[in-house]
Structure 1
Amino acid sequence: MKTAVLIQSHNNSNYICNLARIFYDIRFYVHIDKKNSIDYDTILESNIENITLIKDRINVFWGGASQIYATLNLLKEAIKNPKNEYFHLMSGECLPLKDFKLMEQEWSKNPDINYIESHLDKKNEWRLKVRVPHADTKYLRTFLGKVFNKILKFSTYIYKSTNFNENYFYFGSQWFSINRNLVEKFIDKKNDSYFSNFENITCADEHAFQILARMESEPANISDNNKRFIIFKKKSSPEYLTEETLLNIDRNNYWFARKVKEKTLISQIKKLRKNNE
């Protein structure tokens, strides 16, 4: 197998262990938020051969640059194995909708394609025009934090306080499936200063890789489709998916579903593996 699965999570160690045991022929790389030692120790003590735990853990905050650094640590570890050609980034609340072997077979028909969302979005441009002091803290999602965000957002109608190129105001989901060529470009040492520019940018994880993908790859290789089924309503976080919703997803068009509660995740992957035996 040429597939590496990168899991960026803050919990759900039981699901992650079950996933790795069921898909024993896949290499898993797992980053557990530094704030959570219990789930990290659970996976460590499970001693599952096809799991590589990231030791250099990041204290991750929603919407902050810490998300970027956790992803980079996963990519840097997974690229070490020369067998890895296809890299899926998922959370601990993501469900694979088909066997990873089937994903690999489908992808191998056009291996140059990168399944990452990356498109211009006027609604979110303001994030790249102003620095938010509390962007990588627990206060970003508090009431006062949201009020301050609104003030900073409106300030961008008057002036821009960052140096990002407005021709590259790209946006997209944090979760992606990319090939080895793009991973190598993302982790190139020359891009260290590029990623540091996203500190104090709100929801930096929805811009940093999405912009760099456009700068570093041929546009035709960026699909602007990450093959993830996600439902957003009026909140900044996606809705939890029910078993009924999961049953009705068109699995010809999607590889993963986000987000799903742990009990449902475990029952679904057991069914998935059984159906493919």
Structure 2
Amino acid sequence: MKQAILITGYKDIQQLKELVCFFDASYFNIYIHLDRKSKFSSEEIQFLKEPQVKLITNRFKVNWGGFNHLKAYLYLSSEALKDEANFCFHLITGQDFPVKSISHFKSFGVAQMNEPRDYLAHHEVPFKRWSGGGVNRLTYYHLYDWFDAKKHKKYIRKFVRLQVKLGIARKLPKDFLQLHGGSTYWTLSKDTLQYVMNYTYNNPKFLKRFKFSFCAEELYFHTIILNAPFADLVVNDNLRHIDWSTDRGSTPVVLDERDYEVLLESTCLFARKFDRKSFSLKEKIKVRILNA
């Protein structure tokens, strides 16, 4: 039996390689989606290939906020579910890193096999901390798949404001599920992830309605799972340490040595985000967890 690690990446092949190599092939299977627009070379892709890596694909061009981000997650999920050995599924990015030891992951896996739980940070929508309650992510046309938000965010938002001014809004179907949202990243049991994929296959109009939405991946899994018969088994915690402070130059925060003690005391499995500025922090974490 194995835990599946689903990874989306778009840069820093060395960091991605380090993440892959943390998880050994005896207990983990890894599935990677590389952003098509990042244009990784064949040599870089070959560099990532390890026995635990079962899939490397660049099926979708992924823009921040766009529908293709969700489609990449669904594709990785469908591929990982094909292997009957996979019983627990962790969705992360190439800028994540584990903050617990392999032995801890194995103990977590034993607990999941004995009493499966789903770890998903969630809230009902409308949600007061989201602009427009979050419903406007679906009621207006957002062009993130057409335009790269890193270059053209102001024009994408101007188009939304124009729709508001003109009174143009897309209605949700009357039978649409009660919306729920939350953090993109999750740890799910096999039965739950299969339920999401079955719902997707059996309700193609539901998935289609998320086209031209904003950050669909922060709504889609949550809405299906929290409307499912087993919703009361969901733990409102995604087991990820993510610092959304606004006073450290980026959101989420790029972690560094200042975060070490917090991570040391955390119950999370993963933290994000890491980049080259996080080198010293990552080395300290590795010393701790690789010797645990």
- TM-score in same-fold range (> 0.5): yes
Alignment correspondent of 2:287: 271
Does residue 252 of structure 2 align to residue 238 of structure 1?
yes
User: What amino acid sits opposite 1:238 in the alignment?
Assistant: P
Equivalent residues of 2:117, 2:235 under 8 A apart: yes
Q: Deviations over 1:201-232 (max 9, x none)?
A: 11111111111111234221221210111111
- The CA RMSD measured in Å over matched residues stands at 2.8
Alignment correspondent of 2:52: 50
Higher relative contact order (CA 8 A, sep 6+): 1
Which of 196, 208, 214 is residue 202 of structure 1 equivalent to?
Answer: 214
Alignment correspondent of 1:176: 186
Rounded Cα–Cα distance in structure 1 between residues aligned with 2:63 and 2:159: 17
Does residue 48 of structure 2 align to residue 37 of structure 1?
no
C-alpha deviation, 1:126, in angstroms:
3.0
Identity %: 22
Secondary structure of residue in 1 paired with 2:11: coil
Equivalent residues of 1:3, 1:84 under 8 A apart: yes
Equivalent residues of 2:101, 2:289 under 8 A apart: yes
Alignment correspondent of 1:16: 16
Rounded Cα–Cα distance in structure 2 between residues aligned with 1:125 and 1:166: 15
Distance 1:39 1:99, change over 3 A: farther
C-alpha deviation, 1:196, in angstroms:
1.7
Secondary structure of residue in 1 paired with 2:86: coil
Alignment correspondent of 2:122: 118
Secondary structure of residue in 1 paired with 2:8: strand
Rounded Cα–Cα distance in structure 2 between residues aligned with 1:210 and 1:171: 5
Q: Where in structure 1 are there 5+ consecutive unaligned residues? A: none
TM-score by length of structure 2 reads 0.82
Does residue 159 of structure 2 align to residue 143 of structure 1?
no
Number of matched pairs? 274
Does residue 195 of structure 2 align to residue 185 of structure 1?
yes
Secondary structure of residue in 2 paired with 1:38: coil
TM-score by length of structure 1 reads 0.86
Secondary structure of residue in 1 paired with 2:145: coil
Equivalent residues of 1:96, 1:256 under 8 A apart: yes
Alignment correspondent of 2:172: 163
Secondary structure of residue in 2 paired with 1:200: coil
Equivalent residues of 2:3, 2:109 under 8 A apart: no
Equivalent residues of 2:6, 2:76 under 8 A apart: yes
C-alpha deviation, 1:129, in angstroms:
4.5
